[in-house]
Amino acid sequence: MASEFKFKRFSPTADNLPRNSPSAPIRILGSGLSALTLACSLRKKHIPFQIYTRDTRPQSFWDRHDYSLLLSGRSIRALRRLLCIGEDVFQRTLLVPLTTPFPSKSRELVKIRIHRGKLEYLLRQAFEKEIEWECEIKVESEASGLPRLIFPSHVDKLEGSITFDCMGAHSPIKYAEVSHTILPVVVFRGQMFLSKSSWDRKFRHWFPNNTSQIREQFDKTILELIIDDVHPHGGVVKLSYVYSRPRLDGPIDPPDELWVPKRSIDEARSPALIEKFLDEVEVFRQEYNLPKPYDEVFNPERMKEDDLVHWLQRHSRANQPKLIHLWNGDERIFKLGDAIFQMSILESTGAELAIQDGIGVAREIERCREAMLHKWLISGWVGRHWHGHASFHRMAKRYRSEVIE
């Protein structure tokens, strides 16, 4: 399928030609959106770098992050410039559904879905050789409390002047973290495939005019259907569905067995947990007469065949002075994206901030190397907090709940 992504990229234009750039290499830890947008931006500016990630090299864009995410028109336009591809190519390759018009400059605030796996595939294309896959970095604490990075023995450790931590919420570098909250919300996500005929007969008319997401609320439980991808030839549709509600905490409520904030990452697909979830869906269907197309999707017997996962809605933030202290340490570590401020998966702008961080910090490095990175961090701090608080308020409004506040 990768052959479908062969297209001609534009040559750099006057506004993105590299200036004289410093030659000292930069280390990037992680392979998510902030890491890849940073790397792609540095590549265009002829600034050397190396990516280290514990992830396995994806064999196709469906191997990793095979889902769509919501971005503003402004971010989509910035990504098109970064990739140096035309609007029509961007539209038919990345937008979901692919009939969605590419956002004009006057529609920069409009929200559009984009396939994350395909986006990351295109971002990686220009620098595959600069990625060290299956490289799990361990962290030891110095006497000062600052972290020291331990690279695997099989890796040729690059001695760089700056190390960017783009490993997000699961970063082992915890030095600057000061708060970590798991919102009292139960969320499960499933994914299913629909043939073109099934989609046309049962679902298409529920998603009119390039609609990519619909939802219905039943008391405080919300059901959502999201288009992740549409195969350009066969017309097969990949659909995500989300079941979410506040944690049960009323005086007569039994203990909420689906509220498991201390579960491990591996337990997100625990068969026992999934079975309890399907039992709840069965009871939910008995309480509510689900309208179409939700009755078709949220059917426990059918859902048993799908990829189901329990989603924790995490919220964490780092301490600004500690972040600067971390950057001033021997390892010269600078955090980006979710590694600074993580928001919940639902009702957040985390992907937006990750992309903005990657592009913005590359511009700052080109302008004055690392000398002013702390000022770049400080200047955007209020904005990060605003996005975090706005995410909290949207979650509270979503469930009409004061518990989340």
Contact 318, 176 (CB under 8 A): yes
CA gap 119, 217 in Å, rounded = 31
Q: If DSSP codes are grouped into helix, strand and coil, which group holds residue 57?
A: coil
Cα separation, 170 vs 127, whole angstroms: 24
CB–CB of 43/366 below 8 Å?
A: no
* Backbone dihedral angles phi then psi of residue 249, each to the nearest 5 degrees: -145, 20
Strand partners, 308: 190
Q: Which of 182, 116, 155, 134 is nearest to 315 (CA)?
A: 182
CA distance 236 to 196: 5
DSSP labels, 59-107:
SSTTSS--SEEEEEHHHHHHHHHHHT--HHHHHHHHEESTTSPPPPGGG
Catalogue all structural domains in the chain, each as residue range(s) with its CATH number.
Answer: 22-56+133-180+315-399 (3.50.50.60), 184-311 (3.30.9)
**In a structure prediction context, what are the per-residue pLDDT tens digits for the chain, which is 405 residues long?**
444 555 555 555 444 434 444 456 899 999 999 999 999 999 999 999 999 999 999 887 677 899 999 999 999 999 999 999 999 999 999 999 988 999 998 888 899 999 999 999 999 998 999 999 999 999 998 888 899 999 998 887 777 779 999 998 788 998 876 778 899 999 999 999 999 999 999 999 999 999 999 999 999 999 999 999 998 888 999 999 999 999 988 666 788 999 999 999 899 999 999 999 999 999 999 999 999 999 999 999 999 999 999 999 988 888 899 999 998 888 899 999 988 888 889 998 889 999 999 999 999 999 887 778 888 999 988 888 888 888 888 888 888 765 555
131-132 and 49-52: which strand pairing? Answer: parallel
Residue 234: half-sphere exposure toward Cβ, Cα within 13 Å: 10
